């Protein structure tokens, strides 16, 4: 039986991936030099495709890393001298907070109960943070911070850099890049690619912050420091031998997404999320973990239940692989990825099976 992964990352691969793997082999992608013209074209193709898909302005560059976790370190090392503020509402937002602390930064956290979102009104008005960290979609709980909160923080703290973890929500969300400075994701979530590639969308304000830090003779890292990778990315190059296959596949999948059209992808996710929440609301033993409708994630739907293992096993027998709860919620939640690769028909079938 063919399985379909609804796990929130790694997840089901994008439905066009097979032909791209084949063409990667034919084109010897695993063997080419990362300093040659062929690689530059692959880099440029992924870069242009992402700019087009996500509507990224000119003053941003796209930097390829190994993961989103790596980007947490890069952001702090590159752009922060003393202090950050983190809106924390689950495991991933907390890990970024811990990263800052471990790197010796005076990190503040504004903590919200799991399943809710922190309020920007709790950021001390005199705190003057160098950087405010948002997690748009907290994958561990399914709570999603409205983009308007993020934009309001920019208005209230115009000097702070705004960093947005959009790991499990891009390309679904339509971000106004004039109101943020760093946005990042990993490809194994909504993009439906094998893991091992992080994408950091970063602007000139972050580069100014890193140059300022360097001018004070403070370390911003070595080969992967932002001032170096930013410059290299402009020339479609990377500091080290990168995940060439990952960048190639990303370029191909993004091309397919552009052909389908981002509006269609976003509309389908809205429709499928409505179907899923409807099924969960009707179900006898399931209910949404996130109660506030405006905070309910569209891309990672989380339900609480006493029967998590039973439900996961029942659907698993039909080939539908659901996610368990994250961490301490392992046996208390189910998590369902609603990514671009999951078709309306698959989500409808999944919802029917849940209700059987
Ligand atoms: C998965 C995830 C990460 C970490 O991604 P890696 O690729 O494992 O580094 C960070 N933030 C969020 C919200 C995630 O869902």
- pLDDT tens across 30-88, in order? 999 999 999 999 999 999 999 999 999 999 999 999 999 999 999 999 999 999 999 99
Query: Low-confidence residues of the chain, pLDDT below 50?
Result: none
- What are the residues whose beta carbons fall under 8 Å from the beta carbon of 74, sequence distance 6 or more? 65, 200, 221, 224, 226
Q: Which of 167, 187, 243, 335 to mutate to test the pocket of ligand 1 (most atoms within 8 A of CB)?
A: 167
pLDDT of residue 127: 87
Instruction: Give me ligand 1 centre to Cα 182, in Å.
Output: 15
338 neighbors 301 (Cβ within 8 angstroms) = yes
pLDDT of residue 149: 97
CA distance 300 to 72: 21
Q: Which of 168, 190, 196 to mutate to test the pocket of ligand 1 (most atoms within 8 A of CB)?
A: 168
Instruction: Give me ligand 1 centre to Cα 37, in Å.
Output: 31
Q: Which of 7, 8, 9 to mutate to test the pocket of ligand 1 (most atoms within 8 A of CB)?
A: 9
Nearest to 11 by CA among 266, 349, 322: 322
Element (H, E) at 255: helix 244-260
Instruction: Give me ligand 1 centre to Cα 27, in Å.
Output: 30
Pocket of ligand 1 (CB under 6 A): 9, 67-69, 92, 135, 137, 139, 165, 167-168, 186, 189, 198
CA distance 328 to 61: 37
pLDDT of residue 1: 80
pLDDT of residue 313: 97
Instruction: Give me ligand 1 centre to Cα 264, in Å.
Output: 25
Q: Which of 189, 192, 199, 337 to mutate to test the pocket of ligand 1 (most atoms within 8 A of CB)?
A: 189
Give the residue whose CA is nearest to atom 14 of ligand 1: 167
Q: Identify the residue whose tokens are 């034919």.
A: 26
Q: In order of start, what are the domains of the chain with their CATH numbers?
A: 4-12+261-354 (3.90.1150.10), 17-258 (3.40.640.10)
pLDDT of residue 126: 84
Instruction: Give me ligand 1 centre to Cα 64, in Å.
Output: 15
Give the residue whose CA is nearest to atom 3 of ligand 1: 68
Instruction: Give me ligand 1 centre to Cα 328, in Å.
Output: 17
Backbone angles phi, psi at 278, to 5 degrees: -60, -45
Instruction: Give me ligand 1 centre to Cα 111, in Å.
Output: 19
């Amino acid at each position: 039986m063919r399985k379909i992964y609804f796990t929130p990352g790694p997840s089901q691969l994008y439905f066009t991936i097979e032909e791209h793997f084949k063409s990667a082999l034919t084109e010897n992608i695993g063997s080419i030099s990362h300093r040659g013209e062929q690689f530059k074209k692959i880099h440029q193709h992924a870069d242009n495709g992402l700019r087009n898909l996500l509507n990224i302005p000119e003053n941003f560059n796209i930097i390829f890393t190994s993961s989103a976790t790596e980007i947490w370190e890069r952001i702090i090392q590159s752009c922060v001298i003393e202090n950050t503020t983190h809106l924390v509402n689950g495991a991933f937002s907390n890990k970024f907070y811990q990263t800052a602390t471990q790197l010796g930064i005076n990190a503040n956290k504004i903590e919200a109960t799991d399943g809710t979102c922190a309020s920007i009104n709790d950021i001390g008005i005199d705190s003057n943070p160098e950087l405010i960290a948002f997690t748009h979609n907290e994958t561990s709980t399914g709570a999603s911070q409205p983009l308007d909160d993020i934009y309001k923080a920019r208005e209230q703290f115009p000097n702070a850099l705004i960093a947005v973890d959009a790991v499990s929500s891009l390309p679904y969300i339509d971000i106004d890049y004039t109101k943020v400075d760093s946005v990042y994701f990993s490809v194994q979530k909504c993009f439906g690619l094998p893991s091992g590639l992080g994408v950091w969308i970063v602007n000139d304000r972050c580069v100014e912050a890193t140059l300022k830090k360097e001018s004070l003779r403070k370390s911003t890292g070595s080969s992967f420091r932002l001032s170096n990778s930013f410059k290299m990315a402009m020339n479609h190059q990377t500091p080290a031998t990168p995940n060439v296959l990952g960048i190639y596949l990303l370029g191909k999948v993004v091309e397919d997404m552009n052909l389908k059209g981002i509006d269609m992808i976003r509309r389908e996710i809205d429709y499928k999320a409505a179907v899923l929440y409807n099924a969960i609301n009707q179900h006898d033993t399931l209910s949404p973990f996130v109660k506030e409708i405006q905070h309910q994630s569209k891309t990672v739907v989380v339900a609480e239940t006493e029967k998590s293992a039973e439900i996961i096993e029942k659907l698993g027998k039909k080939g539908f692989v659901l996610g368990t709860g994250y961490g301490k919620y392992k046996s208390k939640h189910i998590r369902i990825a609603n990514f671009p690769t999951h078709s309306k028909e698959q989500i409808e079938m999944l919802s029917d099976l849940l209700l059987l």
